Amino acid sequence: MSANLINLLIEATGQTLYMVAISAILGTVFGLPLGLFLATSQRGELLSAPWVNKILGLVVNATRSVPFIILVVAIIPFTRMVAGTSIGTTAAVVPLTIATVPFIARLVENAIREVDSGLIEAARAMGATPVQIIRKVLLPEALPGITLGLTLAIVSLIGYSAMVGAVGGEGLGDLGIRYGYQRFMPDVMAIVVIILIVLVQLVQSIGERIATAVDKRATKSGGQ
């Protein structure tokens, strides 16, 4: 393999990491509070707002139901408005983020709903406000599940980032298509696949370690 191709692989890996990192950060910034609200805003819950919950739930489900490659094409005008262009690494962040926000929101919602309701009732009995219950009970107890959810979201983002290569998104997917497929260079395609697998394994391993570290139940049982 030539030095030029090695440089292209390094550059493409950097582009993929950039897309995944920025999209994961933005997706968490918007998806985490959305998931918290969805988990606590049904009728009779801490932030009871059933109609808002229903509307947001429909929007989240609608966004999640659109195949990613179709979403990328469908929002090209919006991507161009936000990023100034519809191609390139920065432009790819827009559809990646839009696809990630509802995904993270549902994962966070599920993690919050797995918290023992008895803990919430105990906090209420002690006079804690809804915000205090969310901050001091729900989030700490759900943190391992949220961490694993975010890990799953990042793994999905790595796969999505490869898809945007088909529509000018750059990164490893673009390199695999241009060289591995269009120029009939299977060795490049194989290396791209290996790099993607390594990235997924690293993210999964790190996420599981963090989830174990923040799991109070595992810490208590280990101490015993």
Torsion-angle region of 170 (φ positive above 0: left; ψ -120 to 50: alpha; else: beta): left
What is the domain range of residue 89?
A: 3-219
Does residue 224 form part of some domain? no
Is 145 part of any domain?
A: yes
Q: Which of 139, 138, 141 is nearest to 217 (CA)?
A: 141
User: What angle in degrees, to the nearest 10, is found between the helix axes of 3-40 and 186-214?
Assistant: 40
Kindly state whether residue 142 falls inside one of the protein's structural domains: yes
- 5-35 pLDDT per residue, tens: 888 899 999 999 999 999 999 999 999 999 9
Task: Please answer whether residues 151 and 207 qualify as being in contact, where contact means their C-beta atoms are separated by less than 8 angstroms.
Answer: yes
Arithmetic mean of pLDDT over the chain: 89
The answer as to whether 119 is a domain residue is: yes
Mean pLDDT, range 205-215, rounded to an integer? 92
CATH number of the domain to which 8 belongs: 1.10.3720.10
Residue 175 lies in a domain: yes
Domains in the chain, number = 1
- pTM of the complete model: 0.88
Contacts 24+ apart (CB under 8 A), 193-198: 195/9, 195/13, 196/158, 196/159, 196/162, 196/172
3-state secondary structure 29-70: HHHHHHHHHHHHCCCCCCCCCHHHHHHHHHHHHHHHHCCHHH
